[in-house]
Amino acid sequence: MLLLDYQPEIYPTGRRTIQMEYEKADRSYLEFEIGQEKIKVLKVPKRQYKNARQHEILVSNYKALSKIVNEFIGGIDEWETSTTLASYIA
Amino acid sequence: MGDFNNIGKLYRVIKRSKPDTIKRRNGKIIGVSSALFKDEKGVSVDQKKERTETETIDELKNFFDKRSKGIVSLLESDVTDTEAVLIPKPSVYSPYHAEIHKSHKEILLDDVQALQLADSCNFVFLDENVQWTK
């Protein structure tokens, strides 16, 4: 958490994970679901569910979260062209 | 014209936890997190069926007692809109109990389904004074 420039909302799930959420004014949504070994990443641009993108990264690559958050907050919407996630995909 | 009071309505209890799954912004409650719909045992809901909303809420509050912090409602059509399925599972505690599953073959909802369902919820009961206990 201390590594993140922007602090998330944090919620517990019923499947032994912790969820961190970010939401922008245009309702774009970023979620990290943190388990013991993997972090699931969900991004939904402007709440357009059909355009949702999901990936997983290893918990050991937690430093990637900060870049993903900064890109999300900074408005880089081209998920597919983001090199940050590609370099950290499990 | 159909009876709109009997449009399939579902109720999901928000249990006390710290933190809970209620989304707040600037001190105002704005909804629930999709975390509320992530349960490894299947997402439990109560179907309203022939009951009034007040009866449904009161029965849930009585059953969960101090463990309940809030109750949200959503529609059965919200479930089918996400391509999830509603599985009636009456229990000794409630003939109205059901579970929301990802599909007829898989229990765990996917993350987009959970988010859509959370976005569909409306609060019908909330008690911010319910204390979290260990």
Per-residue pLDDT band for A76 (boundaries 50, 70, 90) equals low
Dihedral sign (CA B106, B108, B110, B114): positive
Smallest CA–CA distance, residue A83 to chain B, in Å, is 23
Location of structure tokens 């699931």:
A40
Contact B110, B118 (CB under 8 A): no
Q: Could you tell me the pTM of the whole model? A: 0.87
Among residues B103, B98, B102, B109, the alpha carbon closest in space to that of B38 is found at: B109
Are the beta carbons of A9 and B23 separated by less than 8 Å? yes
Q: What does the pLDDT look like over B71-124, one tens digit per residue?
A: 999 999 999 999 999 999 999 989 999 999 999 999 999 999 999 999 999 999
Residue B105 exposed, middle or buried by CB count within 10 Å (0-12, 13-18, 19+): exposed
pLDDT recorded at residue B7: 67
Q: What part of B 60-119 touches A (C-beta under 8 Å)?
A: 108, 111-112, 115-116, 119
Strand order in the sheet with B97-101: B85-88, B97-101, B43-47, B9-15, B68-75, B122-126
Q: What is the pLDDT of residues A14-64, one digit of tens each?
A: 999 999 999 999 999 999 999 999 999 999 999 999 999 999 999 888 888
Q: Which residues of chain A neighbour B116 with C-beta distances below 8 Å?
A: 49
Tell me the pLDDT tens digit for each residue of B17-56: 777 899 988 889 999 999 999 998 899 999 999 999 999 9
**What is this model's ipTM?**
0.84
Give the number of A-B residue pairs with CB atoms closer than 8 Å: 54
